Structure formats: structure tokens, C-alpha cells
Structure 1
Amino acid sequence: MKISKNIQRSWMAGIMVFSMLVAACSKVPLVPSDKSEEFPFRDNSKVLLILVDGVVGKQIERITTPELDALKPNSIFSFEGSADSVTTDPASIAHIMTGNAVGNTEIRDSSLVPRVPRGELFPSFIKRVKEQKARPFRVVTVTPWETLNKTLFKEADIRISVAGNNNDVVRDSAINRLKTDSADLVIAHFNSANLAGLQEGFTTDAPAYRDALLKIDAYIGALVKAMRGRTKFPEEDWLVIVQSTHGGNGKKYGGFLENERNTFSLYYNARLKSNLVIAPAGVKFGVKLAGSDANAVNASLSDAAAYNVGEKDNFTIEMKMRHVQKGQTANYPAFFSKRANFAGGVVGWVFFQEGAYWQFNAGQTGKGNVQARGANINDGAWHHLTAVIYTNYSTTPFKRFVRVYTDGIFNAQSEITVLGNINSPSPLTLGATLPPNGSMIDMYVNDVRIWNDSLPADIIKQYACTNKIDATHPKYANLIGYWGCAEGEGNRFKNRFSTSPDFVIKNAYKWEPMNSIFTCGKSVPDAPYSKEVFNQIAYWLNVPVAKEWEINGRLWLAQL
């Protein structure tokens, strides 16, 4: 039977489905499109899997890695991959080896043994490879973790355990086997970056961690060189996989924070073309802002004088929000404000909800309120809200206006000249103002931006569906406040600008995993998950994936 294994695609082309060899096998979603002809697998397909503990994808991206860089022209790779939500060493490596999350494997401690009998239903892919009957497979493993060789690697033909966390010996042992062994699958496991991260921090600003990453890069180069130096290499078809098991945050790992889950993935073969996979914008963590009394969960700046908009200056105020429950309507709750409260004639401004839609409202003592109506926002999706305050000096006297946009689409404009200076002594606040003016909504926030200029409509629309704002933004020099609101821990929404104030979260708040993606009407795949190593190895070695294995990853290896 023939099956496609030619390799080039653009991952953005969409999701398709690939049937593994027999009808009893499950379908594995492909990331790109498939228009190539099929050709037979050869019996000399082989895999070199290099597992590296504690390599944070975003950190290794920051440095020059000559050996990895040499592979990238023929690789699918990503610095934005994701480990399981439990990032301990046992859970992370089991996630890769079984293709299943810790909720299935129940491998949670250093024994590497499932806590419950059901966990035995999800063995290592080494066992799966060895069980197939199409051809014999020889497997070699080299690791500094002896227990790994006795558990998840136990079906390997040759298991080499290296004492004392000596990663140089891991390299040398793997090189020796690559030069002399007929193995079809070679696994080399390094933990030196992990040890350095625990010592000095999982950041390239820490010399020990940076040096460890560079040494890992050298290890990879040495193994690839040994692979290419095999006597029969011209006749063989090697897939090289480099996969970090988990990341790290500060000097720790094991939890679900973004940096702890952030991994590096690379799939190399000489016939692949370069494909850097960038994760779509989204929200990984959030705090539910809720309540309308003294116990309300809201967040205010520590400096009440910051970010006043004055009488004449231009500003743009942006945020993303999502209701906790779809269909929630409300009467006049302010959910983003610089104003003491929402009573008539109180100086300042608010974003508020009326029914299903949002509005901008500005007020001034003795001069009432002026409003500009946005669009409906209660459909349970994330929405990007924008208020542009600008002054037109082409008239005498000048006139000041506010324009509002929802998801980058213009909604309305109102003149606010009559209000004059709308500076407020109250701090910028996310969530309820107290006392509230009407029922409060329960919501999450993300991507709060304040600019000291009036952004044009095309730029607002261009950046409405992302929370990745950097120096490439055409107005980046005018960004004076930026709060991602996705830290995952602590009592602050931190300002990107260290000299500017943070939002301090009040009362009984809780960080929640969100894992939302801003699709904006498009089907966009997320970056690789570490568990998807299983799918690539099964595909490359022509091993059918049975439905009962519960392997739900995607196939990143694309067609020529």
C-alpha cells in the first residue's frame, strides 16, 4: 500500500485529514494542503529524536544557534510550541512519549508510573512502533535519567543510562550508536539546560542558561554530523526531531504559566523547505472581573494622575474584552474608566455596556455627558474596542471629537468640545467603578493600549485581531501604556513600560487558563504541541495510529 511522505507545505493553507494505512486506524489532521502524488515508503526511513529539558522556545529564539540555524532551511520549526498544562519532568516527557496529556497517562511523579490502571492504556510510542508487524524496528535510547530507561524507554533494544547528569557522555554515546548501530529510532535526551535554568533562571540573560543553550546547539550539530557520516546514510531517509520537553519561568517549572509551557520544536529532513510556524494571537490566562460592591474584583492604576486626556491632546484608547457568559446584557455598567463614577456630569470618561452593545461616555461637571455608540459585544467572543480622541485645528475655534470602533470597524463619532478638560482625579480602572451605575457584567480583559496620538482607521483595523504589539507597529513610538493582562500569576496587570504604573488587581481574584485564539473568521492552527512528536514518528516510520490510542495530534510533515 502506498502512503504520502513527500514533504513540503505551507501550514497556513488549512486543516485537512490524512488516513493512516488501514480502515481501523484513526485519522490524523494535516496542517497544510495535500496536492501531491503518493509514493511508497522505503524500508530505510529512520528517526533521530533529540529531547531537551527546559529549553524555552522564546529564549532560544533570542540567541544565535549555528547548528540549528543550519537545519532551518530544510525544517518546519517553531519557537512558540506548547507543552502540557502540567510541566513537571515526568508529565512533560510522558506527554511526548505517549502522545497524551497527563489526565490520561496519570504519570505525575518521578517513578514515571501511572497512578491509576487506566494510565497503562497509553504506553510509549516505542512500544507502539515495536508492536507493528510491517518491519522490525531497532530502537536505541541514551538518557541521564535511568528511571526513564526502565519505564517509558523500556521497550528499546539498547538503553544507555548516563550517570551524574553528564550530557557530554550522552552526546558521545549517541554519536557512537549513530556511527555503528543499525537503529531505526535513536533517542538522545539532554537535561543540561534544565539544570542551568534551575540554578540561574530560564532566561538568556542568565549566563549559565545561555551557555547551556549554546552547548545544546553544539550537541545537536554533533549528532547530525554523526548521522550524516553513517556508511549507509545516502541510502537512508532520516527525520531529525528536536523537541524541548517543557520551558521554565524564573528559576522554576512544573506549573501552567506561559513560559513554563513554551517549547521549541523542529522537524528536519533534506527535502523539507523552511517553515517557521508562528502561533496565532490569543489569550492564555485571564482574571474574571466581576462584582459591583466592596468585594468586586477590579483593577486600578497605582498612580491616579497617569493617562489623563486633557482638553486638546490626541489619544487612542484600546482594549479587548469578553463576557464570561454569552448573551449577558446589562444597563450602564462602566467596565473601563478614568472617572469617579458614571453619574451624570462627573468629569472623565468610561467604556460601558447598554443592553448588548458598548458605548463611550465622557462627562464634565455642569456640562452633562456625551456618548458614542459602539457595536454588540455580548456574543461570548473576544472583541477589540477602540476610542479615538482627536482635535481638529482646521476650524476656529478648534473642535474635539471621539470616534469609536469595534473589532476595527468604525461605529460612530461624537463631538466632545463642549466638555473641555476631562482630566479626572480617579485612577484608570478595569472592571466596576464604585458605586456602580447599574448592573455589572462579568468579563475578562486583555491587550489594553493607550497611545498619545489619534490612530488612523486602517491601523486600528490592521491590529484589532492581535495582541502582539511590538516595534514593527507604525505608531509604536506613540504607545505610552500597554498591559497584556495575561501574566498568569501575581496581583498586577503589568505595564510594558517599566517607568509607568501597573494595574493592581483587588479582592478575591483568580488567574484562569484561557487558551483562546483570535480567529477573526479564519481557520488558523496553533503552533506545534510537544505531544505531536508521536504523530510525526508514526507517520515517518509508517506505523498506523489506532483509534483506541486516543492520539489527537496533527501531522506537520507536509507534502512535496
Structure 2
Amino acid sequence: MKRLFNIKKTLVFVLGAMSLLAGCTKYANPPATYEDYEQNLQLPVKRKVLFISIDGLVGQELKKSVPSNIAELLKTSKYTFESIAGDKTNDASTWMSMMSGVPYDLHHIEDDSYIPRPDENDPHANPVGYPSMLYRLATVAPTQKSYVVARDVAINTKLLTSAEQTYDASSDADVKKNVVDLLEKKNPDLAIVQFKDVLNAGLEKGFSISIPEYAAAIQKVDGYLGEILSALKARKNYATEDWLIIVTSNHGGTGKVYGGNSLAERNTFSIFQNPKFKALELKSDIIKSMRFFGFYDAGQSNYANYNSNAFRARNNPVLSQESIYDVGKTGELTVDAKVKMNPTNGVFDYSSNAPFLGKNQSRTGSTPGWAFFKSGNALTFFVADGSTNMQPGMGPVSSAGEWCHIAAVVSKVNNVPTVKVYVNGIKTGEASSASFNMNNAVSSTGLTFGYFPYIFSGLPVDMQICDVHIYNKAMSEEMIKKNAERIGIPDTEISNSNLIGYWPMDQLVDNKFVNKISGNPDIAAQGTSRLLLMGNNLPYVDPGTILIQSEDMFTQIFYWLEVKTQREWGLTGQVFLNKYEVEFLLPKQ
């Protein structure tokens, strides 16, 4: 959309009409007149981005004491102190996520070589490469000029080599000097800046605002930020430039360390500032879950190594105590969970008849047991007694990668075996069979979370699961709705005698998913399940709630520069500023 810069009160010289001669008649020339009136002359306004990373600045620590220049930015910013880095928080990994628009699971960058880690299962294969945003920018918008000022030499020489010019800075003071000089003498469309003294103070003394050296480092860099902002506003063309200023950190820290996946090490802050923005603190609702995928690696785009040893799921061994989750043992059963489907090759409907949560030896025909399974973008619940099955469809579920709550209730209604299924607390399907024998719905297979390695047709399912509950009774629709609108359950409800299994799915202990119901079995995990932290977008969550992550920087910058990203790039970052366009886009002239 075109934005215009208006110039008014232009003085226009208007001449009177020339006299016309007709025969010998003469007409006197009227005196010249001058008219002062308003007119809009259209001058283009150029969008630009200044991206600044204050490495190692923990979001929650900054919130405790916001220094003056950052506080001034917040007055016209969309901002959060609750953004997060990926679960591998070393410097190269986090910078690669910010600059490539994908998480570590995909880019596999671990050190300053910026060479992807080889696939441990296929070490001779060429790893998938994810170029930096500057490479993408130079490819699709070569007229856009980018500059980099960084403390880490590898950022300039390995990661961001496509910049118009890079500057190696020896100190944060040197960073500031180079950025001020750049803004005075060059004409960047995108400038990327790295400060490191806050990180160094955290490593030496601790990542806490209560530690004087860490607090002093924050104040120092805030002063440098003020000088940079002054230089930006002093640019001769500033009036016709529309700057988005992003200030963030690559990762946090805890104690005197970083690099792990604790929340403190992942906690960052993110500020998106423009003079037209209305101030808004973005709140996040984080959901923890386990990711299961039926192939070796989350970034694998084909199934060359497709075999049961790779699957992130569990089928054997079976514990005898797990028989309490058989319909034939309980007579009634309610199962509910939160699920999120992930795309493979950009689509969500790749799997066919792939179970992911259940207790069933072979989800074919009428093999005894039960399971939720995915077919295309829809889900179905299956329960069988050996000769009869019931399979009510649930319709499309998480067909765009959103979080959803699913539930199934098996019981007798008017003495007829019946299954009811729910999505986000609303009933979406029902099936019944008078010939179904509840007593025979017993499986020798263990309870399985994730992919079923021996029960499938078509491709496996890539997904996340959390907050799993199993009751030995048919729970009311009111209770199902209640579980759909919250994460976890209070301790008072854990004591409910009908609740026989509760797995938050937020950790693995000794390679088992811990059951919060004391005395009831933990469930073993096959392979390596991966813990993920994500934004919760279940329907009950305020739609204004958003979790900003490292990979969102790429997509946000391209959005502001009005450069289209390409689907084949495989970016995972989101764009959120488009929700507020009414604040910063002028009506089309």
C-alpha cells in the first residue's frame, strides 16, 4: 500500500488569459494575479528497519527495571517481556534462528562455523540449508541495502555475508560509534546491530538485575541506544522514512550460564517501535508439550529412513497395570487431550489412518482396543471389541496447525454402547452399536502417546500432545467443556477417584511420561520425545495473546519492508504487526 508525505501551502503563479485579436478589435490584458491555495504533492515514504539485539538480556529481569531510553520506546511500541528463544540457547543457534526464520530443529546450527550439524542417521547426506534473511533479501529485492555492525566476527563473515557492508566492533562503545556513523553517512534499508556487554556481565557475575554489574551493563547499553536513536532522527531524509525499530535479545540466562533450555535461559524481550504505534504490552500464554514425529528428524522432508526404530512413540513393553485403561475393564471411559498437528512439506493432511493416542494392538478391522487416529486433516475415534467397532468422525481438527482440545466418551446410552466425540468442548460426532460387547474391548497393547510404530497406513503423523486425562467414567459435557478451557487441573480435582490417568506431558523422567495420579502407571516413551514451548491459541485464550519467538524476527522484518516471503523457504515465523495496520497505514490516496 502506498504511503504519502503531504506538502501544503504551495504558492502557485496563475497568469491571466492572453488577449485575443479579432479583426481590429483589441482587448486589454488583465493584470497578473497570484493565488495561495493548498495542494498535496506526493512524495514516497520509504520503509526501513533498525534491528538491535542486546545479547543476554533476560526479559523478566529487564521488566524489573526498564532504563530511560528503552522506556521511551515503549510509549510507541508493541512489546513483550515474555518472548522466548529456541530450546538450544547458545549464541550461534539463537542468532541463526533470528536471521533464518526457522528454529534449531530445522537449521541445526550449533557453533560459529554456521555449518549445519550432520544428520546422525545419514551422516553423508547434504543437510538442508536455510540462508539468512540478508541472502533472501539480496535474492528477491536486490535494491534493498543492508548493513551489519556486530561484536561476533562470525556473524559478519559466516552468517550475514550478503550484507552491503559489515563492521567488526571491538566493544559495545565501538558498536555505537559505527552505527551512528552508518546512519549519518549511509542509506540503509535494513541495519542489524549486536551488543554483547550485557551478556558478558551475565557470564561473569550473573544474569540478574539485582547484580550491580549486570544492571550497570544494561544502563550503559541503554545510553548507547539513546545516541543511536538521536542519530536516526537526525537523518536528513528522516521525514520521508518510516522506521520500524526492533530491540530484542538472542537469549536469556540463569545464574552465570546459558545454552540450555530452561525458561530463564530462553526468556527474552521484544520491542517493535514506530512513532505511529499505540503502546501495547503483548501477553503470552505458553503451552508446554511433547512433540512426536514418525521420522528421524523434525526437518526431514522425505521418508528415506522410514522404519519403526525412528518413531517417537511407544508400543512395547506393556505393563499389566495399564489394563485399567481398557474399556472392558472400566465399563465406561473418557479420554481427553490437547493436540496440535504440524505440517510436513507445508501441508497438514499428509497422514492417513495414523493413530497417535490409544491402547490398541492393530487399528484395523475390529481389533480390540481404542485409539484416536488422523486421516488427512480430520480425526476419528476408534473403539472395537474384536468383532464390532464404532468410529465416530470428529471432522477437521488442527487443520491449520492450531491447538485443539479433543475428547471421547465411551458408555451405554439407554443400554446401547455409544461413543461421543468432542472438539474444543463441542460434540462433533456420535456412534452406537447394540451388538458391541463392552467386556471384550480389551487390548494387550500398552497405552501409547504419539506415533504407533506397528499400526498405520500411509505416512506417520507429526504432532504435539499435552494435558492428557483418562477417567473410568463417562464424564459430563460440562466437565469436558471445563477441561477444554484450561491447561492442567487443580489439585482438588486430581483426587477425583474417577481420574485414573493424568499426564501433563511437560517432561520426561527416566524416559517415562509421569502420571500425576499416584500409584497409577507412568508410560514409557520410545525413542526421543522433544519438549516444546509454544504460544497457546486454544479458543478460550484471549485472541490478543501472542508469543513472540526468535524466528518471528525474519518474517516481521520482511513484512515491514514489504518484501514477500516464499512458501518454499519453509519459514516458521509469524507476522503479527498486520493486526495493527489501522494505526500506521494511511488511507490509499
Normalised to the residue count of structure 1, the TM-score between the two structures is: 0.54
Q: How far has the Cα of 1:484 moved from its partner?
A: 5.5
Q: Work out the CA distance in 1 between the residues paired with 2:312 and 2:291.
A: 19
Q: How does 1:485-524 map to 2 (within 5 A)?
A: 485=505, 491-493=511-513, 502-506=522-526
Q: Which of 321, 334, 352 is equivalent to 1:328? A: 352
Q: Distance in 1 between matches of 2:55 and 2:293?
A: 30
- 1:227-252 Cα offsets, whole Å, 9 max, x none, are 56669669767543123335789966
| Aligned AA (1:160) | A
Question: Relative to 1, partners in 2 of residues 1:494 and 1:105: Cα closer, same or farther, differing over 3 Å?
Answer: closer
- Equivalent residues of 1:47, 1:241 under 8 A apart: yes
Change (3 A) 1:276 1:304: farther
State the partner residue of 1:288.
Answer: 294
8 Å CA contact retained: 2:289, 2:505: no
Tell whether the 8 Å contact from 2:53 to 2:195 is kept in structure 1 after alignment.
Answer: yes
> Aligned pair 1:271/2:276, yes or no?
yes
1:74 paired with 2:80, answer no
Of the three residues 384, 401, 405, the one matched with 2:421 is 405
Compute the displacement of 1:50 (Å).
2.1
1:242 aligns with 2:247: yes
Between 437-446 and 270-279, the greater mean CA deviation after superposition? 437-446
Among 446, 449, 466, the alignment partner of 1:447 is 466
Supply the distance in 2 between the matched residues of 1:70 and 1:442 (Cα, whole angstroms).
Answer: 50
Give 1:337's aligned residue: 359
2:112 aligned residue: 110
For this pair of structures, how many residues does the alignment match? 484
Partners of 1:99 and 1:354 lie apart in 2 by 29
C-alpha displacement of 1:469: 1.6
1:160 equivalenced with 2:169 (yes/no):
yes
Letter in 2 for 1:505: A
Equivalents in 2 of 1:433, 1:155: separation in Å?
50
Q: CA-atom RMSD, angstroms?
A: 7.3
Supply the distance in 2 between the matched residues of 1:502 and 1:238 (Cα, whole angstroms).
53
Matches within 5 A, 1:545-556: 556=577
Matches within 5 A, 1:119-518: 123=134, 132=143, 141=149, 143-148=150-155, 152=160, 156=165, 159-162=168-171, 170=172, 174=176, 182=184, 188-191=193-196, 218=219, 221-226=222-227, 239-245=244-250, 253=259, 264-273=269-278, 274=280, 276=282, 285-288=291-294, 297-298=313-314, 305=321, 308=324, 317-318=336-337, 320=339, 326=350, 328-329=352-353, 336-337=358-359, 350-351=370-371, 357-360=380-383, 373-375=391-393, 385-388=406-409, 404-408=420-424, 409-410=426-427, 411-412=429-430, 428-430=447-449, 443=461, 446-450=465-469, 456-457=476-477, 460=480, 469=487, 482-483=502-503, 485=505, 491-493=511-513, 502-506=522-526
In structure 2, the partner of 1:27 is none
- What is the SS of the residue equivalent to 1:182? helix
Superposition map of 1:87-106 within 5 A: 89-90=91-92, 92-93=94-95, 96=98
Conservation of the 8 A alpha-carbon contact between 1:149 and 1:160: no
The separation in 2 between residues aligned to 1:222 and 1:457, in whole angstroms, is 57
What residue identity is the alignment partner of 1:266?
A: I
Contact preservation (8 Å) 2:331, 2:438: no
Partner of 2:55: 53
Aligned to 1:11: none
Deviation of 1:272 (Å): 0.8
Distance 1:515 1:46, change over 3 A: closer
**1:102: how far off?**
9.8
**TM (normalized to structure 2)?**
0.52
Identity %: 20
8 A contact 1:308–1:424 mirrored in 2: no
Matched, 1:3 2:8: no
Letter in 1 for 2:423: D
Query: 1:270 aligns to what SS in structure 2?
Result: coil
User: How far off is 1:375 after superposition?
Assistant: 1.3
Q: Could you say if the C-alpha distance between residues 490 and 317 of structure 1 is closer, same or farther in structure 2, counting changes exceeding 3 Å? A: same
Cα 1:527–1:208 change in 2 (3 A) is: closer
- Paired AA for residue 328 in structure 1: S
Q: Look up the equivalent residue of 1:74 and give its one-letter code.
A: T
| Alpha-carbon distance in 2 for matches of 1:231, 1:415 | 72
Deviation of 1:51 after TM superposition, in Å, equals 0.9
Larger radius of gyration: 2
Q: d(CA) in 1 for partners of 2:412 and 2:251? A: 50
**Is the alpha carbon distance of 1:353 and 1:3 closer, same or farther for their aligned partners in structure 2, counting shifts above 3 Å?**
closer
Which residue type is aligned with residue 95 of structure 2? I
CA contact (8 A) 1:81 1:529 kept: yes
- Hey, what's the Cα distance between the residues in 2 that align with 1:297 and 1:556? 38
Cα distance in 1 between the residues matched to 2:507 and 2:72: 34
Name structure 1 gaps, 5 residues minimum. Answer: 7-36, 163-169, 201-205
Question: Is 1:105–1:119's contact at 8 Å kept on the other side of the alignment?
Answer: yes
Residue 336 of structure 1: CA displacement?
A: 1.4
1:504 Cα deviation (Å)?
Answer: 1.5
Contact 2:293 2:450 in 1 (8 A): no
Supply the AA of the counterpart residue of 1:189: Q
8 Å CA contact 1:127–1:155 kept in 2: the answer is: no
Higher RCO (Cα < 8 Å, 6 or more apart): 1
* Structure 2 gap segments, 5+ residues each: 7-39, 117-125, 296-305, 584-589
Asked whether the equivalents of residues 319 and 384 of structure 1 are also in contact (C-alpha less than 8 Å), the reply is: yes
Question: Is residue 388–residue 455 contact of structure 1 (8 Å, CA) maintained in 2?
Answer: yes
